[in-house]
Amino acid sequence: MYRYIISRVLLVFPTLIGAAALVFLLMRLIPGDICLVRLGSGGTSFSAQALAACHAEIGIDRPWIVQFLEFLWGLARFDFGTSMWSGKPVVVEIATRFPVSLEVAILATVIAVALAIPLGTISALRQNSWIDLVVRTFSIAGLATPSFWLGIVSILIVLDVTQVISGHPWMPPIDYVPLWKDPLRNLSIVILPAATIGYRYAAVSMRMTRSAMLEVLREDYIRTARAKGLLRRVIINRHALKNAMLPVVTVIGIEFAFLIGGLVVTEQVFNLNGIGRLMVLSVQNQDYTLTQALVMLVVTIAVLSNLVVDLLYAWLDPRIALA
């Protein structure tokens, strides 16, 4: 068992190094560079010397291998350097944007769980009833709607509805304030984005809950419990739901990592100053250091949640570790 855990943890490193190599290479294969974007997008004339000076200033004129080793050495020391675009430490750039993204992600998870578990359970208990049909349609529709589209439409609906009701169109504030400073304002900013992400997330988890519940309800011990005449509520709460939770939690855990990807589009729609938008921006600006750091952050989150899921499974089913 310990051998398995150690080897599984060690396997994280080749993945991280591989991802580092991939992002490093991809960013440099994109034509153009940050100096060109910065000097040239205003349309003014700039000399070759100015371009070279800019390259030298941020160090992208050095051989790739030197830059790559420096990047890896920085990663090893948790030193991500400074953003090539703003000249500020990457850690600062990310830290100022992280709270809003995290908040949206957590709230989306809460919404997803709050919808998925009760609806998925009811759907399974009343399989093939009209409730089941409605819930399944609702969840398949969630998988079929582009989330940015849902975001755009929801803002417009809020604007139109408030205009009709009060004559003054209303929309959430456009500048983020932290939860502890002004909870109400904060929530009114993050609730719509969280709901649009949460819907898709709920759709996935709802399907998982339903099928896991169905599986469990068919197990012998549930039948036995029923035969013993236990109350329906007790059966559902104490036995069925509890056992169905593992796969559901797994899906929620894995999806949480993918959620960061979903933030990229949603933060654009809602103009949230989070890490998803920062990623789009840093890629557009061809800011190598910032993009590399962000990708490593996202990859690390994904890899770690995978690791946790794997270890959890090994702990529950020791045969996996022996294989």
User: Looking only at residues 222 through 241 of this chain, which bind other proteins when binding is defined by CB under 8 A?
Assistant: 223, 226, 232, 235
Q: Which stretch binds other proteins (CB under 8 A): 9-17, 60-68, 105-113, 179-187?
A: 9-17
CB of 78 to other proteins, least distance (A): 19
Q: Which residue has the tokens 């000076």?
A: 53
Shortest reach from residue 137's CB to other proteins, in Å: 9
Question: CA 10 from chain center: how many Å?
Answer: 24
Q: Between residue 120 and residue 149, which ones bind other proteins under the rule CB under 8 A?
A: 124-129, 133, 140-141, 143-149
243 part of the interface to other proteins, by CB under 8 A: no
Nearer to other proteins, 74 or 247 (CB): 247
**What is the number of other CB atoms lying within 10 angstroms of the CB of residue 226?**
13
If binding is defined by CB under 8 A, does position 8 make contact with other proteins?
Answer: no
Q: Confirm or reject binding of residue 154 to other proteins (CB under 8 A).
A: no
Q: Pick from 119, 244, 302, 314 the residue near other proteins by CB under 8 A.
A: 302
Residues 73 to 112 in contact with other proteins, rule: CB under 8 A: 85-88, 92-93, 96-97
Question: Interface with other proteins by CB under 8 A: which range of 25-33, 59-67, 73-81, 103-111?
Answer: 25-33
Choice from 2, 3, 10, 29 touching other proteins (CB under 8 A): 29
Strand partners, 20: none
Q: Report DSSP letters for 56-120, one per residue.
A: HHHTTTS-HHHHHHHHHHHHHTT---B-TTT-SBHHHHHHHHHHHHHHHHHHHHHHHHHHHHHHH
Q: Considering all CA atoms of the chain, what is the largest pairwise distance in Å, rounded to the nearest integer?
A: 87
Q: Which tokens hold the place of 230? A: 């236990």
Question: Which residue number, 17 or 69, has a Cβ lying nearer to other proteins?
Answer: 17
SS3 173: coil
Query: If you search the block for the tokens 């940015």, which residue do you land on?
Result: 148
* Residues that contact other proteins, how many (by CB under 8 A): 109
**Which sign, positive or negative, has the C-alpha torsion 25, 281, 260, 311?**
positive
Instruction: Please say which residue, 62 or 223, places its beta carbon nearer to other proteins.
Output: 223
3-class DSSP state for residue 128?
Answer: coil
For the residues of 252-302, what is the DSSP string, one character each?
Answer: HHHHHHHHHHHHHHHHHHTT--SHHHHHHHHHHTT-HHHHHHHHHHHHHHH
Among 303, 309, 311, 312, binds other proteins (CB under 8 A): 303
The CA distance from 124 to 210, in Å, is 5
Nearer to other proteins, 25 or 66 (CB): 25
List the one residue from 24, 54, 190, 241 that touches other proteins (CB under 8 A).
54
Does position 52 interact with other proteins (CB under 8 A)? The reply is: no
Q: Confirm or reject binding of residue 15 to other proteins (CB under 8 A).
A: yes
Query: Is residue 48 involved in binding other proteins (CB under 8 A)?
Result: yes
Segment interacting with other proteins, rule: CB under 8 A, options 59-67, 109-117, 179-187, 268-276: 268-276
Looking at 71, 205, 291, 293, which residue binds other proteins (CB under 8 A)?
291
* 1 sits near other proteins (criterion: CB under 8 A): no
Of 250 and 268, which CB lies nearer to other proteins in the complex structure? 268
Position 81, amino acid? G
Taking the complex as a whole, the smallest distance from the CB of residue 49 to other proteins amounts, in Å, to 10
Read off the tokens for 3: 């051998």
C-alpha distances out from residue 98 to 13, 48, 82, 105, 174, Å: 24, 38, 17, 11, 17
CA distance 88 to 285: 15
- The yes or no reply on residue 250 touching other proteins (CB under 8 A) is no
